[in-house]
Structure 1
């Protein structure tokens, strides 16, 4: 999608793709070898659920986040976004209100509106450097029709790793108002040095009874094309309801390649992940220094997690549509334009740091030439 689908999506030739959130790096060798072994086996019949993959997930969640779960709490799905959609259909009704905190991952809008639920916005607060949750505002937007909150944790596109204290305050509000929470934690492993991920379901004694935690190895190990994710649901009754919803649409089958990749990544991928995040952090610092030196009107928001760089372009003084045209036609780079993340993102662009340094340098130099040509 990133390289072959860029022209179709953006309508321009010779663009350098730095947009969709996958990486330009190969998956860990252990994953490649495990998939090769299955390919060479040559028999690709119907797959049974993989107990070994579930054990790998249990161990990974424990070692990475200190969260002890039972294998029975895992429900496999084809991806996080399909999981969000099916969870919404299972636990809310048409017309119910679902809260998001924009700017936020843009499929959040679609899974709500295309399922005929009411979109309820509680924008994050931005101080010029970082985002925080508007907890007072959250209390104001909740009504009797509000049934659920979608949490992006860590936050995409802003790169915030929410603290345990912030999450506890959010959990208390959700419990008080009987809200279900879908916590999209697909970026949980992509943390900058000094930050830790706290699963939302663990922040109070009882919030797990209302929480659906969506996770996957796909973002961490660049496996999105393999299509696999899972939802952790600790409440047995809620888990059964969700399994029934998946069964009704025949979305409950196993993907053997996803199971194989998950097991290999979680059992052998930690050294690779450590090297990856060191490289991403170095890429961030390179980009931040480059922007400060050559394009000071474009201000990067320092990420605490993810491999995405959220660029504040307000000082350029361009309308979002004009800025988009400038980047595509003059700079010849394809970024994710901020307005797709909500009105609150209109002054921003999202750039993918998960690329070799030479690609990042080429992208920044293209933007620099366009920047200087405009006389910014």
Structure 2
């Protein structure tokens, strides 16, 4: 399986946002190695590709519905992978987790309502709140030794300011935390006490590195489940982002009906033919591939960690518990964020997400994507060293 992930697949010239938009994104004419946007440079499981080929060969792409076999694949996957047993009627579909967040905001809150997030966090959390005319209540995560945690006194105080919804990133992007059951229960119970709806973005839940385990927020109790909307997708798991298929799960009938009302206003009825098929094939046949991926990603994380220790002690890798996105502390370089970005892009010719794009607490950090062949990881590290030492 390792050889599969070692394959170098040429992505330039395929309208790849990651590879074909580097000049526009990084505002430079230099040949930048893109290690930023969250998709992988790996082919998906063969079962997905074969099924898509067969569908193309059939040659007719008319209106498609989501059948019971898709539902069975989703429910079976969640039962096997995270011991969460859900019902068919709990499931709604969307063309992405970000649109799902937007729909939940529109359906369950009003303009001017406060929505809480925890920076540094995935940038669309900010934009979805602002674009829907709601107010951000930011309760930043706190640095604790080598990792991040939650100040629960501040968390409770923020909720009591009139927050109506809390958007949780679980596992967390960009810091790579897998929240423990204890932490999840504390957050959920405080939300219950203050009647705050939980939107739990669990898109990276399949990408938890051993020995860590993902616990779905809604699996903790019936009461918590009734207060929670869980968002998942095969896009990060199997590298299918371009097929735009995601899932919202909640046992709360009132929540579902209100979200479905938003879907009606948007004219959204179902997913595209290829997204439906790829989702089913991934959840039905992708487990062996995923286990190989997780082993390979863990090796890439260790490569970065060891390289920093040997060659770049100025940089500190926040321990990665999940995702293929590494949160790198560059503060010992004592550079402004503008100069840090210039250092890597112009001098090193390597492109990362600047930490400032993730909000308060991201200053002096960059996010690095290591979902690529190890040779690419090593090339990126070499360019970092060249920039810093040069």
TM-score band by shorter chain is: over 0.9
SS in 2 for 1:309: strand
Rounded Cα–Cα distance in structure 1 between residues aligned with 2:66 and 2:388: 53
Residue pairs, 1:176-187, within 5 angstroms: 176-187=193-204
Residue 136 of structure 1 corresponds to 153
- Provide runs of 4+ in structure 1 moved above 6 Å: none
Instruction: Name the counterpart of 1:162.
Output: 179
Q: Comparing 128-137 with 139-148, which one deviates more in the overlay? A: 139-148
Question: Contact 1:101 / 1:124 at 8 angstroms: preserved in 2?
Answer: yes
**Aligned residue runs from structure 1 range 23-172, under 5 A:** 23-143=40-160, 145-172=162-189
Report deviation, 1:192: 0.9
Does the alignment pair 1:337 with 2:354? yes
> What SS class does the counterpart of residue 3 from structure 1 fall into?
helix
What SS is found at the alignment partner of 1:187? Answer: coil
Aligned equivalents of 1:112 and 1:124: distance in 2?
19
Name the residue aligned to 1:8.
24
TM-score by length of 2: 0.94
Query: What is the CA-CA distance between 1:144 and the residue it aligns to?
Result: 5.4
TM-score by length of 1: 0.98
Mapped to 1, the partners of 2:105 and 2:330 lie a distance apart of 34
Alpha-carbon contact 2:341-2:354 (below 8 Å) kept:
yes
Partner SS, residue 210 of structure 2: coil
Gaps of 5+ in 2: 1-16
> SS at the partner of 1:206?
helix
Cα deviation, residue 143, structure 1: 3.5
* Structure 1: 5+ residue stretches without partners: none
CA distance in 2, matches of 1:205, 1:372: 55
Structure 1 match to 2:213:
196
Distance 2:162 2:155 in 1: 14
Aligned to 2:343: 326
Aligned residues: 373
Q: 1:240-319 maps to which residues of 2 (within 5 A)?
A: 240-319=257-336
Per-residue deviation, 1:6: 1.4
The answer to whether the 8 A contact 2:204-2:322 is kept is yes
